[in-house]
Amino acid sequence: MENEIIEVKQAEMLAAINRTEVDMQIATAKQYPRDLSQVLNKIATFAKMDKETAEDCFYVLRRKDRDGNDSLIEGLSVRMAEIIASAWGNLRIQTRIIGNDGRMITAQAMCHDLESNVAVCKEVSRSITTRTGKTYSQDMQIVTGNAASSIAFRNAVLAVIPKAITKKIINDVKAVAMGQSIDLEQSRKNVIAYYNRVGVKTDQLLRYLGVKSIEEIDQRMIFELRALRNAIEEGTTTVKETFIDPEKEAQAAAEAVKNATTAKDKAAAALAAATGEAPLPATPAVEDVEAEEIDPETGEVKKVKKSSKK
């Protein structure tokens, strides 16, 4: 009997393997369904293990609404999504980078509840260019891609798991996170030290919180600053986006253009105003003065004009 040649297409083979894996996971999930009370107990146990863990479960952002007023945006962090996913169980979660056009990097996350057969796919895009349009280095693109993947993971998990389930314990976790510290003064020092390390001055923190002195920072504000730290570290926002006031920057840029004395300085200041970069110091103004010079060939005394700084 002649040997029969069987041709196997790689794409079809991979699809069959993937389908088999999913079917096995669904069968296992149906055989060992989750217990809702146990899930809630696990989430509460993990999230309230200590004050630091509870603080890591939230992020807080301040944004301007359409009326120009500060609006507080609060949500669950990537760390909390990890805790919920681990306790919920019977989930199939995948993340990947699906796009990079040199300006934006896009991550995609898929979360599939194997019991309810509900699947959600979320995409998150992050800029990989500076304010002047320069593309990030390769290492920074990897960091930005990882941040986008983490945020997409969080969004997908929280979209699959009903909010009504987790809402019950969120307030308990927040109570632990906002619990009175043994030393409020030390907590202030720690949170201020962190923001100083990432380039935020103390007066910027006070202006952000709307207070005039460090002593006015209470436990609620410390919670907000720590939750904001979570948002910065996971890539939801940036230090510049949060603490730099566009109106004040525009005023400073306009002042730099006004104070510039030479055409070169005015052009540089205008460019800085357009790109958002810090303006360069203006060149001191000069004036013309007369001076005497002797011609070395003829010995003739000549009067020439020279530029002198004011």
CA pair distance 186, 178, nearest whole angstrom: 15
Say what the pLDDT of residue 50 is.
82
Q: Where are the domains of the chain?
A: 12-182, 246-309
Cα-to-chain-centroid distance, residue 8: 45
pLDDT at 284: 43
SS3 for 70-104, per residue?
Answer: EEEEEEECHHHHHHHHHHHCCEEEEEEEEEECCCE
CB 162 within 8 A of CB 40: no
How confident is the model at residue 277, as a pLDDT?
46
More confident residue, 274 or 136: 136
Q: What is the mean pLDDT of residues 142-171?
A: 89
* pLDDT at site 215: 87
| 122 has a pLDDT exceeding 80 | yes
**Local structure of 143: helix, strand or coil:** helix
pLDDT tens digits, residue range 47-66?
888 888 888 888 888 777 77
Residue 84 has pLDDT above 90, yes or no: yes
Asked if residues 255 and 278 have their Cβ atoms less than 8 Å apart, the reply is no
Please state, in angstroms and rounded to a whole number, the distance separating the CA atoms of residues 94 and 152.
Answer: 10
Q: Assign 141 a pLDDT band (cuts: 50, 70, 90).
A: very high
pLDDT at 104: 93
**Average of per-residue pLDDT across 2-17:** 66
